[in-house]
Every structure is written in C-alpha cells, then in structure tokens.
Structure 1
Amino acid sequence: MDILQDMRVFVRVVETGSFTAAANGMDTTPGKTSRAVSDLEAHLRTRLLNRTTRRVALTEAGERYYDHCMQILALIEQAEAEAGDAHARPFGKLRVRTPVGFGQHYLIKAIGAYQKLYPEVKVRLTLANGTPDFIEDGCDVAIVGALALSDSELISQKVGSAFSIVCASRTYIEAHGVPHKPDDLEAHSCIHLNTPEFPMNVWTFDGPNGKESVRFRPAVLEVNTPEALATGVREGLGIGLIPIYSAISGLRNGELAWVLPEYRSQEMGLYAMYPSRQYVDAKIRTWVDYLRDTMPATLAADQEAARRFTQR
C-alpha cells in the first residue's frame, strides 16, 4: 500500500468532488481512485467519504484527515523542491576539511572569495591532519595532499600541486654551516615530519641530477604537522623539509632560509575529494570548480615568491 499516493488520490477526489474527475486529472481510472480511498479507509478503520451516485462528501473524520493530508503533501512538495534546488543552486552549509597549514594559508582566503560569488553558502571549515573519514567527520569536501592516491570509492579532483623545500634558521646556519648537496644533510641535525604520506628518515628530491634520496640517522625531533616542523626549524633545532605554504611566512620575514635551492621534494598533488559523482550538490560542485580554477595560480605565486626571498 502506497499511503502517500493514496493520500494524493483522496485529496484530488475531495477537490474535484468525484472519483471520475479525479481519475481524469491523474491519468487513471475511476475504479483505481475508488480503490485508493477504500484502502485508506481500511488502513485507518475510518470512513472518510460519504458516497452517493452523484457526489461525495467528507465525513467529520474525513475533514480532519483532509487537513492533515494537505499539510503533509505540502511539506513533501517543499522538501522535494529544496532537494532538487540543491542540485541547481548553491546554498546551505558546506562542510570542508583540510590540513591545518594549507587551510590557514589558503582556504580561509579562498572561502571568502567563493562566498562573494555564492553568498547563500555558509562554510564550516575543519582544520585537521590525517586521512578524512567522511561519515565520522561529517564533511562534504576534503582537501588532501598525496604523492599518489590509493584506490578509493571517493571522487577526487586535482586542484593543484605543491612541494617541500629544505629550510634552516639563520642561527643554525651560522652555527653549523650550509649544506651544498643532499648528501651533506647526513652530517646535520634534521627534523622529520612523521606522517603516513612520507617515509621516516628518507627525503627524496628532484634536482639537477634527477631524483635523489637521502637516508638519515634518527632525527633530533619528530613532529606530525608541517606547522610544528616549521616552528622547530625557526627555533634552530635543525634542518627541515617544509611545505612551501608552511615555510613562506618564515622566508618572507627572514626567520628561515631556503638551503639547497636547486632541490625540492617530490611534487605532491592536492586533491578535492567528495563521496559521490551522482547528484552532487551545487555548493560542492561550485566549490570544487572554484578551487580547480584558482588554486594553481595561487600556489605558483607562493612558489615564485619563495624563490625571490631566497635570492635576496
């Protein structure tokens, strides 16, 4: 029994005043409309309509039920319209998850620009490192950085790429000297970023001689976020391989120096990930499109700025 459909038939019978008129308007037969109302009455164990050969009339119980049906069907129509509108018009709350440093340096500014284009979208930004769990975290879109994406049922769109650079503080360089090639790092104190994406105690570079890897003795300090890594390097605890977006402010104010400027880490892809390609909300689609259109130029500008600060 389809109660909602039977409700629609019942309302149509009341509005038109007959089973035949209701059937004509709903592209069905009078017998089926009569059966739908009878099924409702049997389900409710209440007579809703008094029937004669010429007309139908609501019973007292039928009048109350008709009012409730009108309210229920109106709410369903509203819900369907809003759900359908979500596919066409960006509005509502967009839940975004991103690594801490990337979010602080790039996403907050990007959100402001995006909301000028789509003012009906409100954003909840969660800054967290590690692999996102869309159900547990309750997010719509997650930004992740990875050398390569593992097989996943999630949809991913590349929105840019980034790399890390070898940095040291001025005080560390004055005390311990400057490495000139990757192998020189083995003689230095190094701070390591300990995350699932990068192997411990191994740094892999792209440089003048192609791809080179350096293995280290145990690090003087291990951290799990790029921000903590940059802080440790600024404090002179050692040399670190820092993502551009976490190093740029230190390069700008002189607290950090880019050593080995001809070398950089393997390029890491930045991806916007979301659960499904089918029936994607307009707010998710437009947000991912915005990042894909704007983020590469923003990342490239910071990479160029880092080189200028190094050359000063």
Structure 2
Amino acid sequence: MDMIQNMRVFTRVVESGSFTAAALTFDAAPSAMSRAVTELETHLRVRLLTRSTRSLALTPAGQVYLERCKRILSDIASAEEAVSEAHQRPAGTLRIVSYASIGQHYILPAISKYRSIYPDVRVELTLTQSTPALYAMGADVAIFPASSLSDSEMISHTLGSTRNVLCASPEYVRARGLPNAPSELAMHDCLTLSMPGFPTCEWMFEKSGDTEVVHVDSLLQANIAESLIVAIRNGMGIGALPSYAAVPALKDGSLVRVLPQYSLQKMNIYVLYPAGKFVDARTKTWVSFVRDYVSELITRDEAALQQPVIESLCST
C-alpha cells in the first residue's frame, strides 16, 4: 500500500466532495479513489468517511486525520521543492480556472505574455460561468469577479475594480431615443447579464454620492457578456455590460453609451490560490505577473470609458 498516495487521494476526496471529482485530478476511476480510502481505513482500523449515495462526511477521526495529512503532504512537497529546480525555474503545467469573459478579455492575453517569459510552463485554462472551485476542478489558481470575498482558506489578491456600462445600438437609439434618468428605463426594452454573486434584475446607479436601484423587467437574460453584446448590437434593447466587454464595441461605434453620467455598481476581480507553506514556482510567478499585467489592462479599460471618443457616442 502506498500510504502517501492514499493520503493524497483522501485529502482530495474531502476537498472536492466526491470520489468522482477526485478521480479527475488523478486521471483515475472513482473506484480507485474509494479503494485508496478503504485501504487507509483498514490500516488505521477506524472509519474516516461516512458515505451515502449523495454525499460524503468526515467522521471525528477523519477530521483529525485530514489535518495531519495536510501538514504531512505540505512538508513532503516542501522537501521535494527544496531539492529540485522548481523553486528557481517555473516549469510543468499551470492549471487556471477563470470566469469566462474575464478569461477571454484579460487572462488569455496575460497567458501569452507570461509564456514568452516562462516558456517551460504549459497552461491549462478552464473557462466557467460559475464561481470557480479550485479543488473540485483541480486548478492551481482561480480568477473571478465578486463584490467582496467571504473568509476562506484561499489567499486572494485584488487585480482591480470594473463597473458595468449601459449600452445600446445606434439603431435602437434612433428608433427609441435615450433615457435621461434611470427611472425612464421602464419605458425601454432592457437586457440583463447573469453573473454569480450579483443581482440580475436590479441595476444600482450612483451619481454624486446618491444611489438609485432600478428593477429591470428583462426582455432577454444571458449568462455570457459576448452573447449579450450580439443582442444589443441587433437592436434588441439596452443592456448592462462589464466595461472590459463594452469598451471595444464603444470604440468602434457599434454600441453607444446610455446614461454615462451614472456609474453602475462596481465589481472586483480577484486572483485566488490555496494557502499553505508550499506554493510552486509556476503559481508564484503567475500570480505576481497577473497582478501587474491584468491590473494595467483594467486601468486602461476604465480610463477608456472617460475618453471623448466614447463619451461623444452618447449623442448619436
């Protein structure tokens, strides 16, 4: 019996919440994961997990053993790192999970630049429309938007803050006109974007320190910003887009700003990775790089919203 490997399996099963999810990490069958945990329990002569058809739960002994396993595995990883070149030369596979639109607009360009500096690092990028779960998806780093973060075992850094921008097509504006205040949106067709952690059908407007919340009767709801852009361009109505998705279309004139004198609720973009004594060189260098590179891209896009070429489109 490989005790160390079985400890790794047990730890990942608990963190991912199922034998099936853990099996994806090890490229093995769920039955192999179950067998590894059973071998541990037989060796220890104690039950570590309570199993049911739908869930797993740690026993009291399992909770104690899990914490010890984490410390042991962390020490082993540190020992291996200490005698390898990994702490000096990033190499191997970096697994990144990102909210889809952020991944397309910010993370893919960042990966291209990062690999020009660290060519020995391969990248596996997973784009998702839900809040990424590192352990369940076998990822090293997660990047996603949120208004704030709850307490977690992850280390987090803020890459920057963005805001939603109300947009419409020039054709829609010519046919229906522009609202002069948030309350006038009730007379318009509105399109909404579903994002994890943010109310879909409530738009929060801010101006001169005052806040106004407008309930939106959505004609169309999409969960991908790029899809919503298509609907807005086709004149279906007024939609709220993240600034990073809206700026290119505002620059080329295919969309125009609506109510530019108001700011919509801001959201933060975070990069997260597991806490612990050992963080491999790939993760260290990527987090350091993305904090600078993506922060610059966010600042660029937010500044672009203030440029006259974009603001002047509002009078189209």
TM-score calculated relative to the size of structure 2: 0.69
Rounded to whole Å, the distance in 1 between the matches of 2:249 and 2:83 is 46
**Deviation of the 1:112 alpha carbon:** 1.5
Deviates more, 1:279-288 or 1:124-133: 124-133
User: Which position in structure 1 is the counterpart of 2:285?
Assistant: 286
TM-score calculated relative to the size of structure 1: 0.70
User: Which position in structure 1 is the counterpart of 2:181?
Assistant: 181
User: Which position in structure 2 is the counterpart of 1:151?
Assistant: 151
User: Which position in structure 1 is the counterpart of 2:28?
Assistant: none
User: Which position in structure 1 is the counterpart of 2:231?
Assistant: 232
Gaps of 5+ in 1: 1-75
User: Which position in structure 1 is the counterpart of 2:13?
Assistant: none
User: Which position in structure 1 is the counterpart of 2:191?
Assistant: 191
User: Which position in structure 2 is the counterpart of 1:122?
Assistant: 122
Rounded to whole Å, the distance in 2 between the matches of 1:117 and 1:182 is 47
Q: Indicate if the aligned counterparts of 1:97 and 1:126 stay in contact, CA closer than 8 A.
A: yes
CA RMSD of aligned residues (A): 2.0
Q: What does the per-residue CA deviation read over 1:245-288, in whole Å, with 9 as the maximum and x for residues that have no partner?
A: 11122112211001111112222111001122420111111111
**Deviation of the 1:213 alpha carbon:** 1.1
Deviates more, 1:131-140 or 1:280-289: 131-140
Rounded to whole Å, the distance in 1 between the matches of 2:259 and 2:83 is 54
**Deviation of the 1:146 alpha carbon:** 0.4
Q: What does the per-residue CA deviation read over 1:282-311, in whole Å, with 9 as the maximum and x for residues that have no partner?
A: 111111111112222211111222332323
Q: 5 Å matches for 1:1-312? A: 80=80, 84-216=84-216, 218-308=217-307, 309-312=309-312
Give the match's secondary structure for 1:85.
coil
Deviating above 4 A after TM superposition, structure 1's stretches of 4 or more consecutive aligned residues are 81-84
**Deviation of the 1:142 alpha carbon:** 0.8
Q: Indicate if the aligned counterparts of 2:99 and 2:131 stay in contact, CA closer than 8 A.
A: no
Identify if the C-alpha distance between structure 1 residues 200 and 282 changes in structure 2 by more than 3 Å, giving closer, same or farther: same
Give the match's secondary structure for 1:250.
helix
User: Which position in structure 2 is the counterpart of 1:26?
Assistant: none
Rounded to whole Å, the distance in 2 between the matches of 1:280 and 1:91 is 13
Larger radius of gyration: 1
Matched residue count: 234
Q: What does the per-residue CA deviation read over 1:152-190, in whole Å, with 9 as the maximum and x for residues that have no partner?
A: 222211111111111111111111110112111122110
Rounded to whole Å, the distance in 2 between the matches of 1:261 and 1:284 is 39
Rounded to whole Å, the distance in 1 between the matches of 2:83 and 2:237 is 54
Deviates more, 1:200-209 or 1:236-245: 200-209
Rounded to whole Å, the distance in 2 between the matches of 1:256 and 1:106 is 21
